[in-house]
Structure 1
């Protein structure tokens, strides 16, 4: 069998498997429904050194420990609430110090704490939970998740391995026992409920009007397991050994020590100004400048944060708005995962026919039919690649990441191709963090670069790159870039969306001027309206690349088809 016949055979086999997978996906989804988101030069930040993870400076990083005890410095040192706010300030639009509350320090492991953050833009009872860990004499944000679907705690808990149970369990509603009468009994009840353990007793109780501080400890005393529980009336206000006035504004000073809160910071999100690089002089440059202004206007209209980057594959020019802004990647991170898998295949360390057996650790919420299967589901590497790209299956992705050697290898592959601000931190899931520095992340320019390397055959072997393009062309879950180009123009893309985050990155195969477009948004409106922002940006970029509106291009195509068919053209002249 020759190379062409083998390729044809492989495509037929993929189509058959795709049909089977779609049928299984339909059955699983139905069952789930019944059971129950002038131009300046383009300059990017310097990347990390060889072999270093591309982690940008994280807000709230550990600082030199103070000689004063935590909670009683002069002037006040930043405390738990201060560090939680500092971790999100400047990146969560509109967040204020007063939006931080519900601070709890773990009694099971006092080196961990959590805070609840409710920025003004979040509606419907949703909030971010930020988990902090002590490093030296300070606190550092380590995890963050969006809490929205509290009826399915497994979706979130799968991302919080290592976080003490008494910080995780209060995130999800359970049937509450009848409230105990006294502040002491109420405090013990809260600790037992959070830890899931009995054997606690109340020690010292201090009160001032409706405010109470109760020391709760293991029965028999001891210094290893104890905490302070703060009550406002019968309501739990906070818990922890190091709670201060920063966490409990309004509490009497006799019950809580003074603590510092971070000052509001200006946004670290760059302004939505157009930028470009290496644009050739002439008509094309003029078109790009006009289209850039139009697309920048769309970015400015977006109620959250948006950015995009275009790479012209004919000239090598690039242009966009916020091309180096770090965004939550959602499922676009599956592009470097795909490249990593094909590199392992090129190395002979993996084969298309190798069997994959899913594990409990691979499970994740979100897209794909494998989430409805029990651990032990079997597939091949080839099938898992198709599920990951065409169906955006998170479980298949996690299994492939495990197979190639973990997130570290995926990040190494991304860096080797120049994508220095792209990082896979956690396994793929429908849950996300409050800020990109705590989540899987990328930039518009990075993602456009990776796709350009696939098209040019540089991301892996040329055969592997052709296979990757074939998979990207089969993606059928996102439609935003395609919505901005004429029907019939081929787009090979990978998108991702989740709770007001909508991303799409694709190769647009326009014969005269092919290009790559990567559009990223977050903290935006709902799915329908949010997707239209991406379509409008895509439409403006199409106009820049082609010089034609969608309608003009469509009329040209119709005219060409009419002429080619032998019927009279629109001018009335006979076709040749």
Structure 2
């Protein structure tokens, strides 16, 4: 029996290419699966995508440094020292008549007084708080200073009462709005701090009455100063009347809102001095006559005004 012959098969090129393609596909699939399985799950430990090169090279913005708190403004230098007080005391001790002084440095609030307990007839200095009382009552709607009678308004009369110390203007105002205990004027003075407000009044029939001190005058000017600072229309109008006061007894180194008074044994002057270092000076004395203030009293006022300005650093 003839033996069976073994014949070798020839390879098929197309089949080989298919196998090779399958192998490559399997390899790519394995690589894809591996890369996907290596990614973070649910974003844990994930990093933001890299920024473009143009952004990656940008410089971070610096956080602005906090603005330091401003240093507190130091109080002005105290000038009403013991030495200054001794200088003023020596001058006042040498005066032949009774003199009382109240001085306040408005920059620091420091106050100098001399003969504070001495009382004097108020004379026309009482017109200052009276004018303030009227202006504030007008502002509150209690009175109307625009009211006109006999050809002048209340404001016209206030201006004359202060700027030239007109008694006729004061009496005219008091005829319309008397300054008495019944009308609340004495209570107003008590609120300002007057030592003896009882008896202080202005009426049409009796004129001006009252016993006051240099401190009372100073407190009147301080109340006016604070009122002027409000800047209301009434405050500005009233301040102008005091700035236009037509007398120059106390010497001041700068414009001053002021008021004087003069009668028998009473010669007073007081002012708010608007210098670089503002202050209030009130001087009450026993100089004075029913006529013009005596020359020696005026000379004392001039010298004292210059001395006060000097110790406050406001001299010529």
TM-score range, shorter chain: 0.5 to 0.7
CA distance in 2: counterparts of 1:499 and 1:325, whole angstroms? 16
Separation in 1, partners of 2:127, 2:258: 11
Corresponding position: 1:480 with 2:246: no
Give the structure with higher Rg (CA): 2
Deviation at 1:305, TM superposition (A): 1.2
Cα distance change on mapping 1:503 and 1:466 into 2, 3 Å: same
1:470 aligns with 2:263: no
> Conserved in 1, the CA contact under 8 Å of 2:243 and 2:257?
yes
Is the partner of 2:158 in helix, strand or coil? helix
Which residue in 2 is equivalent to 1:494? 259
Per the normalisation by structure 1, the TM-score is: 0.38
Unaligned runs of 5+ in 2: 1-73
Output one character per residue of 1:206-253: Cα deviation in whole Å (capped at 9) or x when no partner: xxxxxxxxxxxxxxxxxxxxxxxxxxxxxxxxxxxxxxxxxxxxxxxx
Q: Is residue 451 from structure 1 mapped to residue 205 from structure 2 by the alignment?
A: no
1:424 equivalent in structure 2: 200
How far is the alpha carbon of 1:379 from its aligned partner?
1.7
Within the candidate set 202, 205, 211, 1:441 is matched to 211
Superposed displacement of residue 318, structure 1 = 0.9
User: 1:292 Cα shift?
Assistant: 2.5
Q: Distance in 2 between matches of 1:425 and 1:332?
A: 12
Q: 1:496, 1:527 → 2: CA distance?
A: 13
Pairwise mapping of residues 62-211 of structure 1 onto structure 2 (< 5 A)?
A: none
CA contact (8 A) 1:472 1:494 kept: yes
Asked whether the equivalents of residues 310 and 319 of structure 1 are also in contact (C-alpha less than 8 Å), the reply is yes
1:105-504 correspondence runs (5 A): 284-285=78-79, 288-356=81-149, 377-408=150-181, 409-422=184-197, 423-425=199-201, 427=203, 439-457=209-227, 462-476=232-246, 478-481=247-250, 483=251, 485-486=252-253, 489-504=254-269
Q: Relative contact order, CA 8 A, sep 6+: which one is greater?
A: 2
CA contact (8 A) 2:102 2:283 kept: yes
| SS class of match (2:90) | helix
Partners of 1:507 and 1:289 lie apart in 2 by 23
Q: Do the aligned partners of 1:457 and 1:466 also contact (CA within 8 Å) in 2?
A: no
Q: Tell me the distance in 1 between the aligned counterparts of 2:278 and 2:129.
A: 21
Give the superposition deviation at 1:282.
9.6
The answer to whether 1:537 aligns with 2:304 is: yes
Report what 1:506 is aligned to: 271
1:520 to 259, 267, 284: 284
Shift of 1:469: 1.4
Answer yes or no: is the 8 Å Cα contact 1:288–1:545 preserved in 2. Answer: no
Does the aligned pair in 1 maintain the 2:100–2:114 contact within 8 Å? yes
Q: Deviations over 1:116-156 (max 9, x none)?
A: xxxxxxxxxxxxxxxxxxxxxxxxxxxxxxxxxxxxxxxxx
Secondary structure, counterpart of 1:407 in structure 2: coil
Alpha-carbon separation, structure 1, partners of 2:105 and 2:258: 16
Q: Which residue of structure 2 lines up, in the alignment, with residue 365 of structure 1?
A: none
Quote the offset at 1:500 in angstroms. Answer: 4.3
Equivalent pairs counted in the alignment come to 237
Give, in angstroms, the shift of residue 281 of structure 1.
10
Q: TM-score, normalised by structure 2?
A: 0.66
Q: Does structure 1 conserve the Cα–Cα contact (< 8 Å) formed by 2:125 and 2:268? A: yes
Counterpart CA distance in 1 for 2:227 and 2:203 is: 27
Give the deviation of 1:345 after TM superposition.
Answer: 0.7
- Structure 1: unaligned runs, 5 residues or longer: 1-279, 357-376, 433-438, 551-576
| CA shift for structure 1 position 538 | 1.4
Q: Deviations over 1:74-105 (max 9, x none)?
A: xxxxxxxxxxxxxxxxxxxxxxxxxxxxxxxx
Give the C-alpha shift of residue 418 in structure 1. 2.4
In structure 2, how many angstroms separate the alpha carbons of the residues matched to 1:283 and 1:353? Answer: 44
| More helix as a share of residues | 2
